[in-house]
A and B are shown apart, each in its own frame.
Chain A
Amino acid sequence: NAGVTQTPKFQVLKTGQSMTLQCAQDMNHNSMYWYRQDPGMGLRLIYYSASEGTTDKGEVPNGYNVSRLNKREFSLRLESAAPSQTSVYFCATTSPGTENQPQHFGDGTRLSIL
């Protein structure tokens, strides 16, 4: 019972390189989210997908794109990585009835951009 799986777990990029972070869930949840976690700033929402086929911007979408490939998978792409995007990225899901349901998180991708 994997829950939410993120790949890769670690990555080092050079400024200007591109990369896609992958997230897959086996919980049959409709909603998926991408957050970044920075020291002293908590979690900030980058993008979310309410359901398959839809995506919406969160608090800090600039420099990122997303794809909701199917119900299970939600990917985050950095087209031209910048040092300010060095962070830990978390994918999360919620079951239907999202106002009162807790989020389920993957273990994160630790991304360092030089």
Chain B
Amino acid sequence: AQSVAQPEDQVNVAEGNPLTVKCTYSVSGNPYLFWYVQYPNRGLQFLLKYITGDNLVKGSYGFEAEFNKSQTSFHLKKPSALVSDSALYFCAVSPGTYKYIFGTGTRLKVLA
């Protein structure tokens, strides 16, 4: 079955430290990969996507993601975390037209 896994329910990081939010997927073929962020009482907001090409994708608000085909992973990273980055992060894959599979989300808490 096609799936997306975010193995950590919560990630805590000190402000100014680098952060990583993990995502692995199990989808046949070459899916498109996305990261979204959700702030309280808001909808999901698009951060970045991987389609093809460079394995390091840069997105909004200083976030980037590293694609690793052999490990079927697409981890979200940021070199220096801000308190305002605290939110719920979702990884998603699109294995085909009109199909999107979301992970269960990882809550990021950046401590001042």
Contacts and interface: CB of A to CB of B under 8 A. Distances in A.
14 contacts: A40-B104, A42-B4, A43-B44, A44-B102, A56-B98, A99-B97, A102-B46, A102-B49, A103-B44, A103-B100, A105-B43, A107-B41, A107-B43, A108-B43
Most buried by A among B32, B36, B102: B102
Interface residues of B, number: 23
A6 B43 CA distance: 10
Interface in B79-112: 90, 94, 96-98, 100, 102-105
Most buried by B among A98, A102, A106, A107: A102
Interface of B: 4, 9, 32, 34, 36, 41-46, 49, 51, 90, 94, 96-98, 100, 102-105
B48 to A, nearest CB: 9
Nearest to A97: B97
Contacts, number: 56
Given A103-B44, A103-B46, A42 B102 contact: yes
Contact of A104 (B9, B46, B98): B46
Main secondary structure of the interface of A (DSSP, over half): strand
Given A102-B49, A107-B43, A42 B90 contact: yes
Contacts of A12: none
A62 to B, nearest CB: 19
A44 B34 CA distance: 16
A102 B19 CA distance: 23
A111 B36 CA distance: 23
B66 to A, nearest CB: 18
A31 interface: yes
Contact of A105 (B9, B45, B96, B104): B45
Nearest to A110: B41
Contacts of B42: 107-108
Given A41-B104, A42-B105, A98 B46 contact: no
Contact of A43 (B46, B90, B96): B90
